[in-house]
């Protein structure tokens, strides 16, 4: 009888450990995109959290002759600049916004957040991503206006905090975002103005094309990844 008890105790302990492990949420990856032990969720139109997610909005602001044209329905956005002669440049600045307020529990705490974009071809450039400070409408925003009849304070978009700068070393670029910014998109959705992407050197006369949420390749659409903890 004693021998049987010695066998059952270790077996019971092992079952308890397995049960506790099964109670944990999905763990984030180690490495540059997350930390082990955190729960992770991604937002990408037509892909995740489910193929029903359609909370992304994006468009492209273009200066010069196209300053009054909206590009909210194109499958490709452009970032950078193009010489228009006489030392002048046509500028391209994509905008992104992810609605996550209706998908994520409001009591989570964002620990890490990342924006990932996919270029249609590799180009060696460095880009900045900024927090926007004004509401804009995907199918109305242009270089001059954030929505029909509403001007940007400064043409080309109203933005403030520099979130991250990243060099393109492949066709995929991932930017680190301020967790408190993404947290505010959940707790106060009305202040979710999204993000603006721009070339660090808008006088270089070079640009890159980027897949938008309308891209036919779902895996190449803009993606937001969050790593969070529960109360």
Render pLDDT for 193-229 as a digit per residue (tens, 0 to 9): 999 999 999 999 999 999 999 999 999 999 999 999 9
Task: Provide the sign of the torsion angle of the four alpha carbons 196, 164, 205, 75, taken in this order.
Answer: negative
What is the 8-class DSSP label of residue 28? P
- Helices vs strands, H then E, count in the chain: 2, 13
Cβ partners under 8 Å of residue 111, min gap 6: 35, 38, 179, 227, 228, 229
Summarised one tens digit per residue, pLDDT across range 115-171 is 999 999 888 999 999 999 999 999 999 999 999 999 999 999 999 999 999 999 999
Q: What is the CA radius of gyration of the chain?
A: 22
**pTM for this predicted structure:** 0.84
Q: Report which of 53, 33, 228, 60 is spatially closest to residue 143, judged by C-alpha positions.
A: 60
**What residues make up the domain containing 59?**
2-229
Number of domains in the chain: 1
Summarised one tens digit per residue, pLDDT across range 171-186 is 999 999 999 999 999 9
């Amino acid at each position: 009888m004693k021998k049987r008890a010695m066998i059952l105790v270790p077996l019971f302990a092992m079952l308890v450990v397995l049960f506790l492990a099964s109670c944990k949420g999905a763990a984030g990856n180690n490495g540059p995109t997350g930390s082990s032990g955190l729960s992770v969720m991604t937002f990408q139109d037509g892909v995740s959290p489910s193929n029903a997610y359609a909370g992304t909005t994006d468009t492209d602001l273009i200066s010069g002759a196209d300053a009054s044209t909206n590009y909210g329905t194109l499958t490709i956005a452009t970032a950078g600049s193009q010489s228009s002669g006489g030392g002048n440049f046509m500028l391209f600045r994509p905008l992104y916004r992810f609605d996550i307020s209706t998908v994520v529990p409001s009591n989570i705490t964002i620990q890490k957040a990342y924006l990932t974009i996919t270029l249609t071809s590799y180009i060696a450039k460095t880009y900045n991503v900024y927090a926007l400070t004004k509401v804009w409408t995907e199918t109305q925003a242009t270089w001059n206006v954030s929505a029909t009849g509403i001007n940007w304070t400064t043409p080309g978009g109203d933005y403030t905090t520099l979130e991250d700068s990243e060099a393109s070393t492949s066709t995929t670029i991932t930017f680190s975002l301020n967790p408190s910014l993404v947290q505010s998109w959940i707790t106060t959705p009305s202040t979710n103005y999204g993000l603006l992407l721009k070339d660090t050197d808008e006088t270089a006369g070079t640009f890159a094309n980027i897949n938008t949420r309308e891209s036919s390749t779902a895996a190449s659409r803009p993606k937001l990844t969050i790593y969070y903890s529960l109360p």
